[in-house]
Every structure is written in C-alpha cells, then in structure tokens.
Structure 1
C-alpha cells in the first residue's frame, strides 16, 4: 500500500522561497559574492533545465570555495536547496541528495539560523533517503527536524516528521512500531485535516501489511478524499485492498482514479511509473500478459524518456531508483523463456547495487539485500528447472553463483575493503572510510546505550546529530570509492566453483552449501569429483522439523528424558539435510536461514536404539565438520598471527547469581596447556579487552553472553560492563582464532543472506576469520572440560580437528556420566573458518617420496650385501 510522506508541494516551496529571497536580497545586495549567487537562483527559478543545472554544479563548487561570511553562506545555502529541489523534480535523486547534503552541512558548519532548513532541506532529504533505501540515514535526518520541531513547538512540522518516520519504519518492516508512532500522534494532537488524513492513511497501510484488512479498510473510510495532496495515494491504497479481496476490476478503477488525481498535481516520473507498475500487476493477475508488459514498458518510459523502444535498456543508462526494480522484477515474471527472465532479474540486481553505493550502514544494506535474496531464489529456481530438464552443468554453476552472491555480502565487502587497505596502505579514500566507519559504530553504540538507559533526550539528540555528520562524510567517500574500486560493492574478485573443487581435493573434503528461500531450499553438494544440486519444496515441513530439533536443546533435560525421541529426530533431520552420500574426511557446511542454528555434528547417520550416547552414530564420528558463512571464504589465506600468546578473559562473577565457578578451572587448564595471559575477576574489564585484544593471536572469552532481543542488541559480558554489538563493529584485529566460551554467542536476529546478527558475526566483522562459538545456553562445567580437551589438541592439529577431538574425548571420558554425554552438553560449540595445516591430509607425494627412498635404500643395501658375499 501507499504511505504518505509529510512532504511539501511546489507552490508552498516557491512562495516561501520567494519571500526569503526578497528579504535577503534587499539586505545583502551590497555583498560582493552574494548578488552573483542570487542571480543564479533567479535564473534557475525562471528557466530550470538540465543544461543550466550542469553549469551551476561547477559554479556552486566555486562559490563554496569563495564564500567567507554569513551572508554568502546563506546565499549559497539557498542555491544548494534550489538545485536539490529541481534535481529531485527531474528524478535525478543522487544529485539531489548530494546538493541537499551540502546544504545541510553548510547550515550546520556556519551556524545559519534565518532559514527554514526543515522545509527546504531536511524534509526532502529524508524523503530521498527513504526512496533510495538508505533507511538509517532517513531515520536520523527525520529525527533531526523532529527534535527541532519539538523545541519550536511547531506541531505541523512535528506531524510531518511523524508521517515521514512512519514511512521509514514501514519500509524497514517495522509495521507495529509505525502503528504505535501514528496512533500516539493521532491521539496526542489535533492535526490539520490533510495531515490527519495522511496519518490515517499511513496507519491503514501498516495494518494492511499485517494482513489486518478489515482494520485497514475502516481507517481508509475515515479519510477524506478531497485533499489534493493525499487523494492519489488513498485511491492507490483502496486499489490494494480491492486486489487483496480479488476485486480486480474495482482495483483497476481505483488506480485510474489515482492516476487522474496525480495528474492534477505536480508529480514526479517515479510516482506515475509506480501506478503503471501496479496496473501491470493487476493485468497479470487477470492473465492479460501482453497488456501487463505494455504497461511496464510505459512505466519504464516515464523513468527513461530517452529509451522509447519496447526492449530492455542497457545497464549503463539505469540509475539508483527502486521503481526500476519493480519494473524488471514484474517483467521477469511475465517471460516464458527462462533466459529472458534472468536477463530482467540481472537488471534488478544491477540497480540494487547502484542503490547500495551510497548506503553507509549495515542495517540499511541488510534491508536492501533482503529483496535481492528473494530475487536470487527465483533465479536459482529457474536454473534448477533448466538443469533438471536439460542436464546442463552450466545451469547448476550459475545457480551456485546466485546462491553465493546472496550470502554474507556485507562481511565480504568489509573483508575486501580491509584487504585493499592492507595491500595498498597509501591508497586514497580507504583509510578515510575506515576512520569514519569506526566513528559511526562508536556513536551508534553510544546512542543505543543512551536509549537503553533511558538517558535524557539531549543525549539521544546529540548522538543522532553526530551520526548525521558522520554519514554525510561517509556517503561522499563511498560514492568516490565505488567508482575507484568497482569490486568493493560485492565480495571482491569472485571465487570459481572449479577452484573450490581443487581445494576440496587437496583437503579430502566435501562441501555442502544450502540456500534457504521462501518457497524452496536448495542444496549444493560439491566435491572434487562431482557437483550436485537438490531442491526441497516442502519448506514448511522442513522448518517444523528444524524447530522441533532445536527445541531439544533448550534445556539439559529434554534429551535425557527421552533419548529415543532425540535419536528419531536426529536421524530424520540428517536424511532431510543430506539426500545424497557424503564422502571425504572433512565436511564443510555452508548453512543458511534456520540451518545456521543447527549443530550438524549432533545429527545421527543411522537409526539408533541405543541409550548410551557414546555409542550413537553421530555425524561427529564420521566426518570432521567445520562451517563457513560463504563458500567464497574457503579460499581466504590464513590470517596473519598478531601474537603467539593467548589472551584469556575470565570475569567469573564470583559472589553473584551469575557466578561461573568452573570458569576458573577452565582458566587453569588453558594456562597449563598454552602460552597464555589469563585475566580473571574484576580485572577482566571491557576496557582491558578493547586495549589489548589486537596484541594476541588467540582470544578466549569465558563469560556470559546474550543473543539479544527486539530491544537489546546482542552483547558479551565483562566484569564491569556488557560489550554490545556495535562496539565490537568499531574494533579491528586479526587474531589466529577467537574462542567464545559463553552462551548463545552464535545467536541473533536472523537476516536473509547475512545469517544471525550475533556476537560471533561481530567478531567476524572486526576481522576474525576463525571462530569457535556456541549455539545455546551452555553448561559451565561441561564447557570447562571441552575447552581443556580442545587446547590439548589445538597446537598439533588446528581448530576444526581440535573441536572434533574435544567432543569425542568428552564422549569417551569414563569419568563423565552418560546423562552428561547428551549432545546438549557437547554439541553447542561450532567452528567457523578454514582448515589449518594440521587438519588437512598430507598430499600423497609426501608419503610416496619417502616410500620410494626407503625402497631404493633397501635395494642398495641388498646389492652391497650381495657384492660382499661374492667376495
């Protein structure tokens, strides 16, 4: 449904602008630079054109370098806002955003006060951020003028801010948050009739998104259709309701009315194009496919007036505009030829990447990538059908590429940017991006803490404004960097399936890669000898099976109370996840979706009626299991060792309800087995860790942790404080290994493609490439035993092998009773990372050459012995 922004109309802008210009022009005409700037403002207002705007871009830069007093900065501000306005009207959103950002920076840097910055800059800028998918920046910008409106007791602007903020929350999928915001505003103020209509409309839109259609319809019936600024959007929403009820003819009538209402007003190409996309969707539902395609090409024509043919445009002429994605996705669904559909989808991916080029926060990028993820599923499904029907291996390889491109995109991009910075330390832009990114995460951390602590509003306002400044800097840097380093918007150079297979042969390994979509789950089985692709269509049934299995690990008693139920479910899930034979010593799992929470080692490879856990046929016994967030991480070179010693953090929390008594035992074991610096009790502070972590090769944290919830982000505890997610994002280190001996360090909100937003992922983001972490609330005593076993083996065989041996040692330990050998106690810890040297089988020639030498030496000895006998 259509959500309304608290925007502005063209007449209001021109009227207010004219008043401001006349007053300022009369008082400042004597200034040297000011009259020239206002002359250009007048020219732009009189005859706006692309040619004039292009000329003014150069002049604006010159004016900015020459301005030196308040009058000149104010005149420049008015020019920048007007240029932003006309670029926005022309649909050139990146240029409009750039000009509004300059204006906002100018306003703040030079303390300009006699100008309505909210109306002429911040409102359009916030709306443009929303349109372009940069939702975090949109939220911060809108909050800036919300705070300003509240300070000035400007109820009209405050309502406008609430409207725009509700659009951001709606686009982010936070429908209930948007509803709370809108209902609070409706009950707290007597808004003007048009604003009240917009509030009700947005409220209806969010109830519609929650599929509460009756409530949405009742709200729309309360709205007035008389206000020109809201009428078109209201009729579009009524069309959506009619469509949901299957009333396609009525929906079509509403859309035609919406178009007519739009044409009565000042409108943009994207607004008209969106209506035509919705008309096309209706035509498609009515099986009028030719009509639907024609409507889509007309929508495309509004956005690309220079492209008038009924052909797909070249990627080079596209720009960052979400409506393009709607057009191409709809076109893809209409095609009868799979290759034609894939061509349309690829154009959507291209536009999505253009949009991401100015997104500077993980949160906004994840939301943008979520839509890409759904599109990837459709592409993989098309290629699977081609592979099944024609048996073409190339189709399977392409499907694998779509799967991998949709995974861990932000981690890949961060890692690639870090590797570029390290490879070219004197390269431009990248060090600055790193510096400002660190500042951004530090401020976000402070903002989150202020919100959680109920800190005074001034603190939240201060951090929000700081974020605005930082993100302005980052936006400019990102735009330049993407032009200089095109691969930065993805994972960098692509990893080929053939190179993965070669590495698998060296490692005697099999890789199983999952893609978990809405409709299907795809599985790729990759080995040195073959690549296979499988599809599971009953994802609802698979989801239920996975959730039932995960519920077994919610407490230590569930499995022990009914081992046979566990055995049945563990074997059934194994059969579901491995519909093919698995060979090789090493099994590398690339999970996805809910599978990110499954400890595969605990699955049973055969039926079992045994009540002795040691005797159960765990996958652990058959293969050495390790995990990766993306198959492309399999080829990463080993991280440089920052120090040979281990840093162990053991807060213990003695004398509190959170005490970890066996943590001291764990610390003693590790200290005896490795070269370690052990920090315990009150010395194990957050500040100590942040100052010293980068100096150690192994980081071991034995403490409490939390996967977070909808309010509190994931965090890990130190003796004095919790470290939250964003603080870890702001750090950077390159340890050989991170061991998170704590509860739920792999648990967090599940995001499509990126996986759980957990503390473990935060360590990956900060630079760790090898991690051992937990998937549920672990037992203190069992964890201490497992970690002791782990470090007994680590030096000789590496992390993956040591993790496996620790678990088998635990299972076969005669001192441990059978009830504590339940997989609840040992199965939580999973290893993510590459295989280290000790974990790989030695190449055959390492054995062959010594064998040949032994044989040759034996022959020589025999020959010499025979000669001696003859003598």
Structure 2
C-alpha cells in the first residue's frame, strides 16, 4: 500500500470512529427524548433493552454523560410509579458513572443525588441516605450554593428525626434557620420540621406555639401535624377532624406517588384505631394495600412474591395484626412484616444501619412472644413454645449472624469472585468508617473528612450491588436448620443444659432445655425484680462494695439465683447461658445457690461450684459449633505502660505464664497497633493484656496499645482473623452500648464479628493482680486439659482454693469478671501413653501366648 493511500485509510478510520461516537451519543439522547415524550411501562421496557446495549458501548465522556442522563430520567419515572428498588438502581448507576469518570456539565445533585437520598430515606436505608446527602451538601458548600445547602440540611434532619435523634435534627435545623437567603418555602419547612422534632422530644406546648405563630405554607403537613398532636393529647376526635382536612388538601393535588397515598390511608387508620373503630381502620389499611399492590387479587392473604422493600407495608401489616383477634391470622400479618423487613435489610450495607433497622423487628417479635405466651398458657401446645423460640432466635444478633454467614460462605467457596469482592469491600468500609470516626474525634482535617465521606458514599453503593449478587447466588445456603430437637441432641452430645433469655420492656422470658425437657417461663420486670437485678450488678462497681456487706451480697445473689430460674436446673451438669438485655452484664458464676451466713468466700455456695458455665451469643452459634484448629500457637500483647498512670504492674507476671508455652510475646513498645494487625491472623490463641474502654452513647469502645488506641470499627475490618480463642485480659472488654436484639457493642463482640471462634473477656474493671492469677491458672489448666471451657472453670476454682490469697481478695469481684463465650470443647487427651501401654500389653500377651503354646506342646509330647 502506498503511503498516501495508508494516510487516507487512517483518516477514514478515525472519521468513522468519530462519526460512530457522535451517532452513539445522539442515539442515547434520541432514546431519552422518545421515552420522555411517551413515558409508559412498555416504553420503559424498551429503554431498558437499549440501555443494556448503550452501557457496553459508551466510552467517551460525552457518551457516558448521555448515559447518566438516561439513568436519571429512567429513575425519575420509576420513582413516580412506585418502582423504588429499580429507581434506586438507576440513580446509583448514574452516580457511580458520573463520579468514577469525573464527568461534569450536569446538575447531578438536583437530578440524581437528591432523589436518591430521598429514596434511601423512604426505604429505611438511613446510613446511605446520610452519606449521599452529606455528599451533595459538601458539593454545594464548595460551590457556595446556599439553597442546596439548606435543603440538604433539612433532608438530613429528616433522617435524624426518623431514627429518633431529635436533638441532632433540631441542631441542624436551627443552624440553617439563621441563613438569610433561604426561600419562603424552605423557611416554612424548617419551622414544620422543628415542630415535628419538638413533638418527638415531647415538648407539646412549644410545638403548639410554633404552629400558631407561623403562617404555614404546607397546609397538608400543618394539618397532619395538628392531627398527631391531638392524638398525643388523647383527643382522637379532634385529630380526625384535622386529618380529614389534610386528606382533602392532599387529594386536590394533581400528581402524587402511590406510596404517599398509601401512607395517608395507613395514617388515617391509626386515628380510627384510637377511636376504637376497627372496621374503618381495617378499611383504610386495605385501601393502602390496594394502592401499593394494584395487581394483587387476594387482599386478605397477599403473596410474598408481590411485595417489595417499602416501609409503608410495615405500617399496614403491623396495623392489621394489631386489629386481628385470631392468633394464627395475627401471626400471619406479622410474618408479612418480617418478610418486608428482611427485603429492606437486604439493601442495608452498614452495621449501624442494620442494627438500627432490627430494633423495630425486635419490638415486633416482643408482640409475637406475648401473643404466643398467652396462647400457650391456655392450651400448653408445645408447637406454640417452639414457635416462640423460633421468633426469639430470629431477631437475636441478626447482624453478627449475617457476618458469620458471610465468612462461612467464603470458607466454603474461597475462589468465588463475588464473595471475595464482598469481603474486601466490607473490610474497606470498616476501615473508612474507622478513619472517619477518628477524624471526627480529633476534629482535624475537614477536607479529609469530605474525601472520606465521598469514598464511603461510592463504596456503599458498590457493596450493596455486591451483596445483591451474593444473595442471588447463595440464597439459603448458610441458614442453619434449626429446631428444639436438634438443640437437645447437641446438648446431649455436650452433656449440657441450656437457658435462653429473651428480654422485653416489661418481662423477661426464658426457655430451659435439657436432653429430655423443654420449659418456657416468664419473669415480670416489675420494680422489685428490676431493682434486685440492678442491685446485684452494682455490687461489682468497685472492689469494696461486696466486702463492705457480704451478707447483703449473698442474700441478693441467692434471691436472683431463684428469680432467674436456676433452682430448677440440673446440678453438676454443664450449663449454656444465652443472656439478653441487662443479663449481658451479670456474672452468673457469682450467684449463690443456697442461703448463706458465711463471710468466708471459699465456703459460700457460689454457682461456679455447682455448674460449669459457658455463654453463647445465640442458639444458632451454639448449634453450629466451631471446629477448633488446636495448633496451640499463642501470641500475646503486653503494653505494660511503665512509668505512666496506666501502668499494669501484674501484666508482667501474666506474661511469664505464657512464656512456658513458647508463646510469641510483644512487650512494652512492641505491643503496638501495627504489630497486632500484622500478627493477628497467624495464631490460634490471641492474648491481650491491656486497657480497654466500653465506650459511651457517642463514642465507640476501644482497645489500648502502647502507641495508639484501636476502635471497634478497626477490629471489625481485621482480615483473616479466625483464631480459636481471643483472651481479653483487659477492663470492660465485654461492656458496651446495649443495642436491642444485638447485645453489647463491645470489644468482645468486635472480635466475634471479625471471626474469632471463642472469646474470654471481662465484665468490669478487674484488679490486675487478680487478672494475673486467673490467667496463669487458665493457661496452666489448658496445658493439661486442652479445653478452653474447662480451663476457664478451673481457673476460678483454683483461685478460690488458693490459700495464699486473702479472704478479701476472694470476693467475686476479683474472680467472676471473666466470662467465656464459646464451645464446650472436650478435653484433649494425650493418647501417646495409651498407644505405648497398648503396645506393651500386646507384646506381653504375645510372649505369654508363646510360653503357653510351648508348655502345651511339651506336655503333649
């Protein structure tokens, strides 16, 4: 080919590519225009087919931007027509494509991020909503776009209002209330939201004043607010009057989402419930259901396949359950709520969001438990007992169980790319959240905070997509087949019995299981019983409380022993305790089994003498069990903190106990955060002798190393952390903010979340001398028993029987702080000696047989 012809060919090739590119961009815009002109479900179906092709071909920024605009238009239609899950997916695609390719020349905030934030809020995905709203607030602040900043803060306040954080919501609203450039509509929205949040704080008088002193533009919201104020003041007739006016105003509107209408009907139903008009309430709930499910034929028994993640369904089904008298039908409505709740939960990607979401599920479970208890008392049908146990277990530690299932799947399918990606994203998310919290605590580097929030927003969407892929592939793969029969079989195997507590606002249910027995009991949490429990817990607030009045302690401990049902349990048999609520903070070993006037701790009949105790987080974990590696490789971290106020004098003696077992020890400066993270995946037993904090409502629990602290979020993200045992020889490692259903958000739980099979931790700030003694006993016993369960039990018995320890130091304060959450692992017997003995016996028999044979032969001759 001549050079001139080649030159012409290249020019023609490049021109063709450019023309094709231009044609693709135009083609995408033509498809958008066609859809916008005729926005129907059939047109949407056609657009979806075209979108699939466009997404494969779009490479230039212009083509990608056209595709972003297509996604946004599609999302807008889906949102208006109640296809919320699809709308979220469309907006997420738009945002990821826009942000990952640094696109511009499009108002991504107005047409994508704002509706996406609203959808996340409506579907209960508050963490993602918060991330997205903060994202566009940051963008607006950078551009000095005050209207968007104001609307962003208003939308952010709605999230905090919805989750009950009224104080933060009010602070945000008061911040933007001072802005001079807010529109009249924004000013009115601020006042209305201030009113609703003030109601939330139960300052009704102030709320009424605000409404009366302001000319409210949004008449519908104003009337509805007055209606619910009247309900709060127990004036349902007045409430209905206001609400009917609000309904008239609402229906005057030309366009509204089906969800908004359904929610209106559901809210109306709640007023009729207060008026005791059951029929009208049911009618309103049915209207709401018909609005959300226009193609459903059976409104009395809607098909689960037709349901989708929508909070309004929860209002409807819970309301219909409340109105129903028949137990079976009532539970059927609640089950539909649980099903929809699970659909919503599948879209959540952060622990915080999942824990918050399960609180409502837990409240729903409490209602089911009360219903089943009353029914069981009437007919004693064991099916109701088992069903109640199933309900209790379903909402116990759901977040912890889900993470455990994810790790189990990865162990089973280590080469699955979707599982690998999910695990990587989860670890990265926890790492980013950890950095974010640390920056918030130090209040440094605002720019980095913005960057972290941006990264979190994008990562959260990627994680949600990864979770959806995994759920589709492995649906029901990790669910443990669960029944009381299987539990009893496991208990027989472990020579154990089990007590399972379920804590509610007014009562505490407990199930007792033995190999041939299952009972269901109830403890009323009246003032007397609650005081007794709190009194027992407060005895351990400091070292002097018990010693100051031993008789008062033993009396309290014995009364609590009986209240919690322990007088019914088998003596001298292993005992599994699954606590709940405040019982997470009870040292059960220190309960007293009989009335006692002794002041000599060694002779007081503590429960530790009667039963060997192991704790479990939930029944599924106990049933599942854990295969232990038993390689006995130990690593210990001992910061010691010499020459500081935090000096742990006896930590050195504790480290000496581990030296006997050729443990790898990181002492003083070497016990730092970096060495911990680098070594945590290489050992079967991880021992931490340091300080810990339980955290507070606003700050997370922490673990202290020589050079730095480690927040629980960083522990969550530890990679390949699957030790047989984590020993937390540190203060308050089992204490943390108590979350309904999930338990204490503690350091110990963080290690369970990361993958630890068993954990041994403390419930309070234990004396470091006693800790050293207990830990030395633990490892001495582990040498002979090779059982974590037995060693924990014996460490306390040895301590109490040690004559060199004074009576004052044998107070339960010193020895009962450590609790073991894990498997009843059988003693590991050293069979070498049995093999040797067996071989010698065989040789002796062989020689004896030979002698006898020769003797008989001679005799015969």
TM-score by length of 2: 0.92
1:349 corresponds to: 338
Task: Please say if 1:34 is aligned against 2:25.
Answer: yes
In 2 relative to 1, CA 829–498 (structure 1 residues): closer, same or farther, beyond 3 Å? same
Q: In 1, Cα distance between the equivalents of 2:260 and 2:423?
A: 37
CA distance 1:189–1:29, change in 2 (3 Å): farther
8 A contact 2:589–2:606 mirrored in 1:
yes
For 1:806, the equivalent position in structure 2 comes to 795
Residue 143 of structure 1 aligns to a residue whose secondary structure is helix
Quote how far apart the aligned CAs of 1:307 are: 2.1
Q: Deviations over 1:421-472 (max 9, x none)?
A: 1112223411110111111111111111111111221110010011112111
Secondary structure at the residue paired with 2:511?
strand
Give me the whole-angstrom Cα distance separating, in 2, the residues matched to 1:377 and 1:507. 30
Bigger drift between 252-261 and 338-347 goes to 252-261
CA-to-aligned-CA distance 1:179-222 (integer Å, 9 cap, x gap): 22222222354522211221122222222222222222223334
| Counterpart in the other structure of 2:67 | 76
The correspondence of residues 418-567 of structure 1 with structure 2, limited to 5 A, is 418-487=407-476, 492-539=479-526, 541-567=528-554
Secondary structure (helix, strand or coil) at the match of 2:735 reads: coil
Cα pair 1:556 1:824 within 8 Å, conserved = yes
Partner Cα distance (1:778, 1:206) in 2: 42
Cα distance in 1, alignment partners of residues 800 and 209 from structure 2: 62
**1:790/1:806 contact within 8 Å kept:** yes
Instruction: Tell me if the contact between 2:567 and 2:593 (Cα under 8 Å) persists in the aligned partners.
Output: no
Instruction: Select which of 720, 724, 727 maps to 1:739.
Output: 727
SS at structure 2 position matched to 1:695: coil
Aligned equivalent of 2:702: 715
Q: 1:612 to 1:30 in 2, by over 3 A?
A: closer
What is the Cα deviation at residue 607 of structure 1?
1.7
Which of 689-698 and 107-116 deviates more? 107-116
Cα deviation for residue 839 of structure 1 reads 9.1
For 1:328-727, list aligned pairs within 5 A: 328-487=317-476, 492-539=479-526, 541-578=528-565, 581-583=568-570, 585-641=573-629, 643-672=631-660, 674-727=661-714
Alignment deviations for residues 317-354 of structure 1 (CA, whole Å, 9 cap, x no partner): 10010110110001001111000000000000000111
1:393 to partner: Cα distance? 0.7
Contact 1:769/1:833 (8 A) holds in 2:
yes
Q: Decide whether aligned partners of structure 1 residues 540 and 431 sit closer, same or farther in structure 2, where only a CA change above 3 A counts.
A: farther
Q: In structure 2, how many angstroms separate the alpha carbons of the residues matched to 1:310 and 1:790?
A: 61
Give SS of 1:32's match: helix
CA separation of 1:190 and 1:65: change in aligned 2, threshold 3 A: same
CA contact (8 A) 1:639 1:735 kept: no
The residue number in structure 1 matching 2:12 is none
Count of aligned pairs: 820
In the aligned structure 2, how far is the partner of 1:539 from the partner of 1:96?
Answer: 48
1:602/1:619 contact within 8 Å kept: yes
Q: Which has the larger radius of gyration?
A: 2
Q: CA deviation at 1:562?
A: 1.5
For residue 25 of structure 1, what is the aligned residue in structure 2? none
**Paired residue secondary structure (2:568):** coil
Counterparts of 2:674 and 2:412, CA distance in 1: 30
1:786 corresponds to: 774
Q: Which residue of 2 aligns with 1:121?
A: 112
Change (3 A) 1:839 1:562: farther
Equivalent residues in 2 for 1:197-216, closer than 5 Å: 197-216=188-207
Q: Distance in 1 between matches of 2:107 and 2:627?
A: 52
* Between 740-749 and 426-435, the greater mean CA deviation after superposition: 426-435
User: Secondary structure of 2:703's match?
Assistant: strand
Judge conservation of contact 2:639–2:690 (CA < 8 Å) in 1. Answer: yes
SS at match of 1:831: strand
- Cα distance change, pair 641–309 in 1 and its aligned pair in 2 (3 A): closer
Residue pair 2:237, 2:275 contacting (<8 A) in 1 also: no
- Counterpart CA distance in 2 for 1:755 and 1:57 is 44
In structure 1, distance between residues paired with 2:526 and 2:723:
38
Say which of 277, 289, 308 aligns to 1:300. Answer: 289
CA shift for structure 1 position 541: 4.4
- C-alpha displacement of 1:736: 1.4
Q: TM-score, normalised by structure 1?
A: 0.91
Match of 2:16 in 1: none
Report Cα offsets for 1:591-631 as digits up to 9, x if no partner.
01111111111111122222112221111111001100001
CA contact (8 A) 1:345 1:375 kept: yes
Displacement of 1:643: 4.4
Q: 1: CA distance between counterparts of 2:82 and 2:138? A: 29
The more displaced of 156-165 and 629-638 is 629-638
Change (3 A) 1:716 1:128: same
Within the alignment, does 1:283 sit opposite 2:272 as a pair?
yes
Larger mean CA deviation between 817-826 and 340-349 belongs to 817-826
**Contact 1:620–1:804 (CA under 8 A) maintained in structure 2:** yes
Structure 2 CA distance for partners of 1:30 and 1:449, relative to 1, 3 Å: closer
Tell me which moved more, 657-666 or 200-209: 200-209
- 2:6 is matched with none
The alpha carbon displacement at 1:788 in A equals 0.6
- Would you say the 8 A contact 2:75–2:88 is kept in 1? yes
Return the alpha-carbon distance in structure 2 between the equivalents of residues 308 and 504 of structure 1: 47
Does structure 2 retain, via aligned residues, the 8 Å contact 1:207–1:216? yes
Equivalent-residue separation in structure 1 for 2:259 and 2:339 (angstroms) = 18
Aligned to 2:5: none
The 3 A distance-change label for structure 1 pair 415 and 668 is: same
Query: By how many angstroms is 1:539 displaced?
Result: 5.0
Corresponding residue SS for 2:243: helix
Q: Could you say which residue in structure 2 is the equivalent of 1:253?
A: 241
Distance (Å, rounded) in 1 between the aligned partners of 2:547 and 2:628: 43
Cα root mean square deviation, aligned: 2.4
Change (3 A) 1:264 1:39: farther
Q: Paired residue for 2:741?
A: 753
Q: Give the conservation status (yes or no) of the 8 Å contact 1:642–1:734.
A: no
CA contact (8 A) 1:613 1:821 kept: yes
Partner Cα separation in structure 1 for residue 653 and residue 616 of structure 2 = 31
Report the 3-state secondary structure (helix = DSSP H, G, I; strand = E; otherwise coil) of the residue aligned with 2:680. helix
Answer yes or no: is the 8 Å Cα contact 1:639–1:734 preserved in 2: no
Q: Which residues of structure 2 form unaligned runs of 5+?
A: 1-18
TM-superposed CA distance for 1:721, in Å, is 0.6
Shift of the alpha carbon at 1:231?
2.7
Q: Do the aligned partners of residues 734 and 642 (structure 1) sit closer, same or farther apart at CA in structure 2, a change above 3 Å counting?
A: farther
The CA distance in 2 between the partners of 1:184 and 1:624, in whole Å, is 57
Moved more, 631-640 or 565-574: 631-640
Aligned counterparts of 2:530 and 2:25: Cα–Cα separation in 1: 66
- 1:247 Cα shift? 0.9
Question: CA separation in 1, counterparts of 2:207 and 2:810?
Answer: 54
Contact preservation (8 Å) 1:793, 1:805: yes
Q: Quote how far apart the aligned CAs of 1:668 are.
A: 0.7
What is aligned with 1:20? Answer: none
